[in-house]
Structure 1
Amino acid sequence: MTISKSKRRSAKEVVPPIILGALGTVGVVALYLLSPGFQPIELVLLITVGFVAAGYTQGIVRGIMTIVALYIATGVGAIFYRAAAPYTGIVKLLLTIPLTGNFSLKVNINNGTLAFSFVLLTLLVWGMLEIAIRASFQDTSLPGLGVLDNLGGIIVHLIVGLLAASLLFNALGYGRLRPMHDRARLRPVFKQVIHLHYLTQSFWFPKSPPAIYIYDLNLPYGY
């Protein structure tokens, strides 16, 4: 009897995320294939799909913690990405050796290197914060809410996914993919998300706003 209940609970936890992920993936791929002008760079939407699917089992509280972790991680990344570029650039060179065949470790500090530095730093800090949070708060479910915790988790993780996708879209556009970035149909949406995110973090950068945030925002000088 206990095993049967456990299997039912397991199915309830696994099946909805699979359905959400499958439907979301099909929708994004359909947009890419059927929508004129939809750019490959806009497939970053698949990140949002992944977070929405995971949000069903993660719940509201876990989602809020993830938002906080991502907020802190992006702030740290935006502050230190330029200073770290000579070092993260080496990682980038090592990762691209199979594609370029170039074994030189001489780092060229260009926009692509800076974008990689921002993304890598953000992921590292975000990952460490997530590990610390999950170790400290192993159970964040809200049993009293029942399925509302699952639905709320979807909504909160939708926000996380949109922010993560927008940040990656913005970082890719900062490098060599700028022409594709500028042609993207969803650029206004991603741009608005970045703008709102930057406004919440602007006090982190009172003197020098990070170019990787503001290059596409048309903000007044010194903002």
Structure 2
Amino acid sequence: MASITNLTYKLLSVKHLCAVRNLIEEHFTSTFSLGVYLNWTKEDSIPAYYPRIESFLKQGNSLGAFSDKDAKLRGVVINVEHDNNERIKYDETLHISEKTDTINRLMVAIGVNQLSEILGTKKFWEMRMGTVHPSYRRKGLMPELIKRSTVLAKQRGIEKLVRFQTYNKALKEPSKMDGFEVIRHIELENYLDPVTGQKVFSGMKPPNDVQVLIAKTLT
């Protein structure tokens, strides 16, 4: 059985781009709750998100876990520092599909475009596209990547880490959030899409029925 003890952790760079993209493209979409609900496929998601992975890796903040047996990437967390220019580039990639736009409008509603104001600092990392290979899930790999990201962020003078989750246990079981606190949340049953006026995510079931913005203070 795979475990987190047979892994080597590395700071990622553009030389790891192919491995990172392969892992994310194969295994992120299938676990992204909002996307699964909308039947958001790789074909929908790749044009909007994945071409930006290279610029994220260039920041030198992301971490990967590699198998000692075959040196393959088995887990990744993409840590993205605040950058207004990056946000502009992100906005320009939208409107590729209605599914992508629908998800983004929810993210805007919970505060993705006002993170520095919400957090009270520009010294934060947004943790994106965290992905673990299926054979390593539920073995503590993602918590380990988050733990190591916390250490790295502190070393680099980052004040907060922030994540978005579609997960009601962040509200119901805060003691298990490893120092992250809920900053904002949206009950998906009641959320109205500002363009369509429809309750587009009202059918999502627990525990994936609440969209949360969570943050961890490092100072």
Q: In which range does the TM-score fall when normalised by the shorter chain?
A: under 0.3
Higher-RCO chain (CA-CA 8 Å, sequence separation at least 6): 1
After TM superposition, the score normalised by the length of structure 1 is 0.25
Greater strand proportion: 2
Larger gyration radius, structure 1 or structure 2: 1
After TM superposition, the score normalised by the length of structure 2 is 0.25
